[in-house]
Structure 1
């Protein structure tokens, strides 16, 4: 075991504080990663404050991890010391079920093992990226291309793949009209990726406050959802809507913006349940879908795509001592567009 410094929430809703944790010794298929940057995801806040249900404490959040390999196990074949790598939202799965064999480990039938706030198949609690080092099986480690700097690459391990996966799955591309609901940590990546895929991109946000940003990021159009005229003007406009917000929406209103056979894909996860009049789906044969990150192969595909198109996250680099302040600013929508921790400051 190796002792490393980390930032942890000691209890639900408690401020995160500096502590130490134990990392396992490197096993034959493991890589030891010197973490250099860790993104702050809204999911970290949901879990640290038990917004999604009972959690495991102390909790070291962080599933947007970028760093460098410093040790490899005896059977490792994919990586060597010095490689630039990333770790996303999961660190293991059964690898035997239909989903795992199809490269969709995120939907593992036995249950994928989260990078933090989870218990691995070995019975050990997982701790995430707000720490100096992490030990991960090479099968759940991805290579960060040289064209991406590690700080802007870190958020791609969640925000990037969470938006890339549904955009690819539901056919965003030339000739398609795609709307992105919300321009935050997830939404700004959805805009960049949808634009790079060749789609016509519209941002739907509560106000026009971030309109200039949205257009610079690649949006063709920008509308305020607080204006009722938006829903009248855009009725039947879109092939695909990707909702990135973590607050309940009027799903009937957003479904009305789809063309026949269009899809509203949700990647944001509100803490509260939603209600839905099924006639808003039946009329027009529309689809209401969900999507959760992507498999390991798709995550690598996303990183390669982003490197090819010069896509990184828009970040605000912070010191570890600013994590609690950053959490409050995320809740206040006061970040453009992803906080990233310089883990050298832990």
Structure 2
């Protein structure tokens, strides 16, 4: 978004997700929070409350939803964001059952959390990555059961038809057909990474038909789904791996982010380091 790769960035822009802090004041109608509570701000901050999506607790799909993103025309610019996507695809698509085999494409900010959630669900997890040097991290520290290098044709061939589902967190252009081949019949490939708008993905349809396989996408969850995710994470002590930085380190952090030199999220300590 900062470099307008998608062609619809709106400036000025403040990039970032997962805003958290401590409540310092509450309004007279607030009954779920009190001063001193830790709280988070989601990417969806308003909806119509009357459409079918809102009635189904899916405010995130409301056509009149208000967001904290800065790139939707005609909406207030609130400059911020929050990305919560695991409660929605894993539960909704039935990829949270103990014993099932889940593939996770990409071991970054989203991917490492997918591994943690899947293991907490009791699933078998295989990380799929272009980086062989992430194998030890995936298996040794995050607890994945196996690791595939996506460019290794022998490894990919040997794993064909073994996975019940795949969570694809990669935003960069990459082939989808080899991932579809990894799925068992009736398997599901769920895309979470933002697409390349100028280079649509190439896809063979025949394997979907003969294997009754599904490709779908998912964005942030609604309020109900998000709360369920937070409760599950709290129960199982699932946290994101982050590097806390001061405000004056932001430009350096952006350069490191562009190089992929981060494990796995930067968190800016605004309260203690922002100077007026």
Q: Normalising by structure 2, what TM-score?
A: 0.92
Query: Contact 2:86 / 2:229 at 8 angstroms: preserved in 1?
Result: no
Query: Contact 1:319 / 1:345 at 8 angstroms: preserved in 2?
Result: yes
What's the CA shift string for 1:66-92, capped at 9, x where partnerless? Answer: 101112222222222221100122211
User: Any unmatched runs of 5+ in structure 1?
Assistant: 1-46, 130-156
Counterpart in 1 of 2:89?
166
Counterpart in 2 of 1:84?
38
Equivalence map 1:78-157=2 (5 Å): 78-110=32-64, 112-117=65-70, 124-128=76-80
Kindly state the Cα deviation for residue 339 of structure 1 after the two structures are TM-superposed: 1.0
Kindly state the Cα deviation for residue 289 of structure 1 after the two structures are TM-superposed: 0.5
What's the CA shift string for 1:137-192, capped at 9, x where partnerless? Answer: xxxxxxxxxxxxxxxxxxxx52xx31232111222221200000000000000000
What's the CA shift string for 1:313-345, capped at 9, x where partnerless? Answer: 111111112222222222222111111111121
Q: Quick check: 1:318 aligned with 2:245?
A: yes
Structure with the bigger percentage of strand: 1
Kindly state the Cα deviation for residue 227 of structure 1 after the two structures are TM-superposed: 0.6
Residue number among 107, 129, 146 corresponding to 1:221 in the alignment: 146
CA–CA distance in structure 1, aligned partners of residues 200 and 251 of structure 2: 27
CA–CA distance in structure 2, aligned partners of residues 302 and 329 of structure 1: 29
CA–CA distance in structure 2, aligned partners of residues 220 and 119 of structure 1: 40
Kindly state the Cα deviation for residue 61 of structure 1 after the two structures are TM-superposed: 2.6
What's the CA shift string for 1:204-235, capped at 9, x where partnerless? Answer: 01122111111121211111112111221110
Aligned length: 269
CA–CA distance in structure 2, aligned partners of residues 229 and 322 of structure 1: 43
CA–CA distance in structure 1, aligned partners of residues 175 and 73 of structure 2: 37
Q: CA RMSD in A?
A: 1.8
Query: Contact 2:87 / 2:228 at 8 angstroms: preserved in 1?
Result: no
Kindly state the Cα deviation for residue 118 of structure 1 after the two structures are TM-superposed: 5.2
Higher relative contact order (CA 8 A, sep 6+): 1
